[in-house]
């Protein structure tokens, strides 16, 4: 089995396990979640193909599995998907994907640590795990790709945060710090790809929430 096939099988297992858990997705949410994973995989691969130093197949796999932590329902089961995904993928012998399942949550580490409502022991574990890591281009790539779509539809950073802020009642400080940091990441990859990432992905910059 190739690494890509293994990643697809693991994502199917995430869906199947969640479906039979005490907190399953509704059919609509499952569809949206699956669409989101495919979209992040596609965006990661597309940017990696245009950049100079990233492996497109590896990027696709990392994007596909970045939200494997959704195997549990964060809200109802009191888990943090960054750690759940990390543990799930370590157990399945996918250390690079495990790392991304954790790091994609921390595009702005200090802000993100306080933003997620995680249990005290998960907070401490996340803080300590972050100290052991220095982010690389794959971490940055999936952090950005995760934001360039909303429920599976490709969009700008600003659109994504408008939509998320409305859904989750985020305060302005979080939204503006997040948008600022993600635009820095976008500029980083614009330069690497020698083009505007929005043009590369054919993202309509005029649509608003
Ligand atoms: Fe995601």
The structural domains of the chain, ordered by start, are 3-145 (1.10.3210)
Of the pLDDT bands very low, low, confident and very high (cuts 50, 70, 90), residue 11 is: very high
135 CA distance to ligand 1 middle (Å):
18
147 CA distance to ligand 1 middle (Å):
7
> For the chain, what is the mean pLDDT?
94
Global model pTM greater than 0.85: yes
35 CA distance to ligand 1 middle (Å):
10
pLDDT at 207: 73
- Which DSSP string corresponds to 141-171? HHHHHHHSEETTEE--HHHHHHHHHHHHT--
End-to-end CA separation in angstroms for the chain: 41
Nearest to 54 by CA among 174, 145, 117: 145
Q: What is the mean pLDDT of residues 53-67?
A: 97
Residue 208 pLDDT > 70: no
205 CA distance to ligand 1 middle (Å):
21
* 173 or 98: which leads in pLDDT: 98
Nearest to 146 by CA among 103, 109, 191: 103
Greatest Cα pair distance in the chain:
47
Residue 66 Cα distances to 102, 125, 184, 190, angstroms: 8, 19, 21, 22
Of the pLDDT bands very low, low, confident and very high (cuts 50, 70, 90), residue 146 is: very high
66 CA distance to ligand 1 middle (Å):
6
161 CA distance to ligand 1 middle (Å):
13
Of the pLDDT bands very low, low, confident and very high (cuts 50, 70, 90), residue 166 is: confident
Residue 209 pLDDT > 70: no
131 CA distance to ligand 1 middle (Å):
22
139 CA distance to ligand 1 middle (Å):
13
Q: What is the mean pLDDT of residues 115-131?
A: 93
Other Cβ atoms closer than 10 A to 158: 15
Spell out where 52-207 has E strands: 149-150, 153-154
Cα–Cα distance measured from residue 164 to residue 156, given in angstroms and rounded to the nearest whole number? 12
């Amino acid at each position: 089995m190739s690494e890509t096939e293994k990643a697809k099988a693991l994502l199917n297992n995430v869906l199947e396990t969640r479906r039979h858990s005490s907190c399953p997705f509704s059919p609509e949410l499952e569809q949206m979640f699956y669409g989101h994973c495919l979209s992040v995989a596609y965006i990661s691969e597309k940017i990696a193909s245009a950049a100079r130093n990233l492996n497109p197949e590896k990027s696709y796999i990392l994007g596909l599995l970045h939200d494997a932590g959704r195997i549990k329902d964060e809200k109802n089961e009191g888990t943090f998907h960054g750690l759940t995904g990390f543990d799930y993928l370590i157990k399945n012998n996918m250390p690079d994907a495990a790392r991304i399942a954790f790091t994609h949550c921390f595009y702005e580490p200090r802000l993100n640590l306080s933003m997620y409502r995680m249990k005290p022991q998960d907070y401490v574990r996340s803080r300590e795990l972050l100290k052991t890591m220095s982010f690389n281009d794959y971490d940055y790539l999936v952090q950005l790709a995760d934001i360039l779509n909303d429920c599976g539809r490709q969009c700008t950073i600003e659109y994504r945060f408008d939509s998320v802020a409305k859904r989750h009642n985020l305060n302005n400080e979080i939204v503006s710090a997040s948008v600022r940091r993600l635009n820095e990441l976008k500029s980083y990859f614009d330069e690497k790809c020698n083009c505007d990432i929005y043009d590369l992905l054919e993202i309509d910059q005029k649509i608003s929430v």
